[in-house]
Structure 1
Amino acid sequence: MKSKGKSTAIFIICTLAIILFAIVCFRGVEIGGWEVKSFNQTITKGLDLQGGVSVLLEITQPNVSHEDLEKTKDLIQLRVNKLGVAETVVTTEGSNRIRVDIPGKYDSEGIVKTLSQTGNLTFVGPDGKVILTGKDVEKASAVIDQQTNQPVVSLKFTSEGTQKFAEATKEFIGQKIAIKMDNETLTDPTVQSQIDNGEAVITGSGSIQAAQNLAGLINSGALPVPIKAVSQQTVGAQLGATALPNAVKAGIIGVGIVFLFMILYYRIPGLIASIALTFYVTLVLLAFVEIGVTLTLPGIAGLLLTIGMAVDANVLIFERTKEELARGVTVKSAIKRGYQNAMSSIVDSNMTTIIAALILYFFGSGSVKGFAITLMIGIIISLFTGLLVTKFLLDLAYDMGILKKLSAFRVKKEVKENA
């Protein structure tokens, strides 16, 4: 009785915790000025869900190095930020292409023109005059300041740049010299003293990664390679606004039908599987938020596919359990053997799908990559919830006494509990 009461309490607490966790994540909550935003507010949505422009740029120079490709991507990212666009996605595709997805913008011609410009790095004094250009910088590197232990950007100028910078720092002591890319200010450090040795340090980087990005932009100056737009696609606001509610509605209906089938066909085990699946869906969407996945319509399709695979795992386990019960073993042993017998099939099928998703990710592009990412995340989490969470809840339900009858598994053959 003590074990039964303890198991009942744990089962109820776990179930309520999962339901509360799902409600908070899906609807959001605000308590005492502290807010947990809903998934609708925190998940980054792709162009097909909110509208915008997708531009595919191609480097026209042959035999592009990986370094030049990454530098070009960083500079394009900077130019997109200059447009004042949030949640922009800039990714490389293959060895010479860069895709830019800009939500909420519809002037594709203007955006393509802005992104395709060669770029210009300048050092500008407080009087607005250009002191140096990117050609005067020999090298920029991210280092850790030994005195402050903070990340900084170390600059080394050419001989001509050294002379120009020495004259400028002498003139503008106590004032700011702005470092700009295409008239966008990267940083504007204050001159502390005259610098005539051809070296300078820029402080204020929040992290070593930020310092490395700034150093990379300064090193590259203008775009290191010529680029052109090979395709551009505009998704209207109305289409995006219609797509998301329809996708959410389809997802809710689909998941609801799955839950209803599991409960009607497998009864109590089906109800437990539905609770675990609720936890699964919440965990997957939370992973999308934390990883920064951009959710698209193919991504939603991938998510729904993984829900189906998670259900498939439960079906395999329950059917194997029923087979063991039909052989006359105890319920507890049947549950254990059901998991053991279904394990190889579940792992094999999921590993095969993960391999396919990896191929899609590395060789696909755009929305195909999004589909592959959501598919992989969903499969990994489904293995956790299907093999651990559902098993844990089933064991608790057995200890509670609600799974000791064979009718709970839709098995008609009666066996003795000590068989």
Structure 2
Amino acid sequence: MLDIPLWKRVVIWGLVALGLMLALPNLFYERVEAHNDAVQAIEQQGATPERLTAAESWPDWMPSGLVNLGLDLRGGAHLLAEVHLEDVYADRLDGFWPEVRDALRDEREVVGTIRRQPSPGSELRVQISRAEGMPRALEVVRDLARPIVSLTGVGGSDIAVAGQGDELVVTLSEDEQRATDERTLRQSLEIIRRRVDEVGTREPTIQRQGDDRILIQVPGIGSAEELKNLIGTTARLTFHPVVGRTGDPDAPVEGRNVVHPSMDEPGTYYILEPSPVVSGEELVDAQPSFDQNGRPAVSFRFNPQGARRFGDYTAENIGSPFAIVLDEEVISAPVIQSHIPGGSGIITGQFTVEESTQLAVLLRAGALPAEMTFLEERTIGPELGQDSIDAGRIAALVALGAVLLFMALSYGLFGIIADVALLLNIALIFGVLSAIGATLTLPGIAGIVLTIGMAVDANVLVFERIREEMKSARGPARAIQLGYERALSAIIDANLTTFLIAAILFILGSGPVRGFAVTLAIGLITSVFTAVYVTRVIIVMWFERRRPRTLEV
């Protein structure tokens, strides 16, 4: 009656062995971590004697996955940033102006001369000299509208056009503003993630909060200021025609031309045309390098569209200065000496090697679509993280010791078997966390401690049921069989409801709440496995060997 087929025993012990193998690297955390870092560095940058030595510190045939430590355990930096979504509206309308200008020029006989007027960033105002031509102007500009493309489909118009006297007013439609906000947040998240990944940090948390905020937590980084320097700048690179130079930052300019300071020449300001010829969005690569004089520089390369526009402009403007602008500062303003057809070039300036490397990282990762304001910043030192680990370890050991002692005193040999299953359960939790690359936080440790207390509930139900069956004058074998069968429904009900709560916490929660939910859910699954299957196999193997006439449960 207690017979368990051989294949079931092999599967159960095979899963236990696999879990122990996956959990084993966490006992040698620093060695395995150094091995993983060395392997990654060899793949990306090549082998060195130091890297090879570190890579050989852990066998290649062994699992090398680790439970990643969260910000509160490893230490690191925490930032909460607000994205200025309105900046994107102004950029969109600035980019739309050349289309409006060209379209209205074709209707000059009807609308007369056209001139862009000063306006807030959320509007594009165009004055026409013939007010009677406003209906035709509205019709022409409305024809430039495009359908809105968003995650929910395609529909609506991206612009709203209205006439006010002799002025034509173009704004983004409400639907387009919502779609733009969504794209801006998604693009900002991806660019921040790429910039953080460039410096090789482990398991950062980068996620959206609310309508216009982004949470950034990076374990292992030195300080919040260092993280801000990495992601805080927009790294917006543009290339503009130069109108003139001046020493007055408030010099009057004609039309909508702009004044930017020089990065290399303090006190020098460049008057530039506002619309760039090409921008950093068309860059496909940027690498630190050196110029012909051996000074640090950054080489870049455009995509085919940007290369064509860059080449056409240089061919038509040989002998004219050309400004390279980074975040509203002129890095360099060289004179175009010849046609540059390949779409590649080099940015020179007063860089150090570190600055040129950092600039290349920012350009390669892409420009943030809008500026960010940091509302909250926090640096968590590694000492505080170690204190959290120590406190969590003490809590887990105290809980584990109390449960082990209670089970052994309450159920004798069967309690000791339950204790063995509990220890295997903890190992399996770490094995699963390592396999999925999960991040362990302080609330996650709380989830593990809670799992330790809950893990023996299933065994208590089984053992109490076995006691009841023994009182019914059934034999030991039949009592064990019925104990497991009749307690199973109660075990599943209790753990399923808790698992549903963990799933809801994971779906609706964020950050630490999710960490707690993950460890709790994994602990529930492994505890049911060890309590129902592992303990049953051990008890059956013991029963087959001893054949007792009665059970002391």
Q: Quote the offset at 1:246 in angstroms.
A: 2.6
Query: How far apart, in 1, do the equivalents of 2:376 and 2:477 lie?
Result: 60
Amino acid at match of 1:59: V
1:70 to 2:193 alignment: no
Number of residues of Structure 1 aligned to a counterpart in Structure 2? 344
Counterpart among 41, 48, 51 of residue 75 in structure 2? 51
One-letter amino acid of the counterpart of residue 534, structure 2: V
**Aligned-partner Cα distance in 2 for 1:381–1:89:** 26
Letter in 2 for 1:408: E
State the secondary structure of the residue aligned to 2:474. Answer: coil
Distance 1:222 1:337, change over 3 A: same
Deviation of 1:161 (Å): 5.0
Unaligned runs of 5+ in 1: 124-130, 139-153, 188-216, 410-419
Matched residues in 2 for 1:369 and 1:37: separation? 32
Structure 1 residue 370, shift from structure 2 partner: 0.9
The 2-side partners of 1:258 and 1:333 are apart by 28
Q: Which of 227, 234, 237 does residue 118 from structure 1 map onto?
A: 234
* Bigger Cα displacement from structure 2, 163-172 vs 54-63: 163-172
The amino acid of 2:77's aligned partner reads V
Residue in 1 that maps onto 2:204: 88
Q: State which of 284, 305, 310 in structure 2 corresponds to 1:157.
A: 305
Counterpart residue number, 2:361: 184
Query: Distance in 1 between the 2:538 and 2:346 partners?
Result: 63
Give 1:75 deviation, angstroms: 0.9
- Do residues 320 (structure 1) and 465 (structure 2) align? yes
Residue 299 (1) aligns with residue 452 (2): no
Contact (CA 8 Å) 2:67, 2:439: kept in 1 or not?
yes
Deviates more, 1:223-232 or 1:324-333: 223-232
Shift of 1:92: 3.2
Is residue 298–residue 371 contact of structure 1 (8 Å, CA) maintained in 2?
yes
- 2:18 & 2:281 partners in 1: Cα distance? 59
Stretch deviating more after TM superposition (80-89 or 371-380): 80-89
After superposition, the C-alpha distances for 1:220-243 in whole angstroms (9 at most, x for unaligned) are x42234433232222233222222
Instruction: Tell me if the contact between 1:18 and 1:279 (Cα under 8 Å) persists in the aligned partners.
Output: no
Q: Kindly name which structure, 1 or 2, has the bigger radius of gyration based on alpha carbons.
A: 2
Aligned-residue identity in percent = 33
Superposed CA deviations along residues 64-93 of structure 1, whole A, max 9, x for unmatched, are 655433321121123324556444332334
Which residue of 2 is the match for residue 27 of structure 1?
27
Return the letter of the residue paired with 1:102: V
Task: Report the 3-state secondary structure (helix = DSSP H, G, I; strand = E; otherwise coil) of the residue aligned with 1:35.
Answer: coil
Unpaired runs of at least 5, structure 2 = 33-55, 86-176, 240-276, 285-301, 316-338, 348-356
Q: Give the equivalent residue in structure 2 for 1:253.
A: 398
Question: In the alignment, residue 458 of structure 2 is paired with which amino acid?
Answer: A
Secondary structure of the corresponding residue to residue 42 of structure 1: coil
Structure 1 residue 255, shift from structure 2 partner: 1.2
> In structure 2, do the counterparts of structure 1 residues 163 and 342 end up closer, same or farther at CA, with 3 Å as the change threshold?
farther
Evaluate the alpha carbon distance shift between residue 406 and residue 18 of structure 1 in structure 2; reply closer, same or farther with a 3 A threshold: farther
1:103 counterpart letter in structure 2: P
How far the C-alpha of 1:321 sits from its partner, in A, is 1.5
- Does residue 282 of structure 2 align to residue 133 of structure 1? no
The equivalent of 1:196 in structure 2 is none
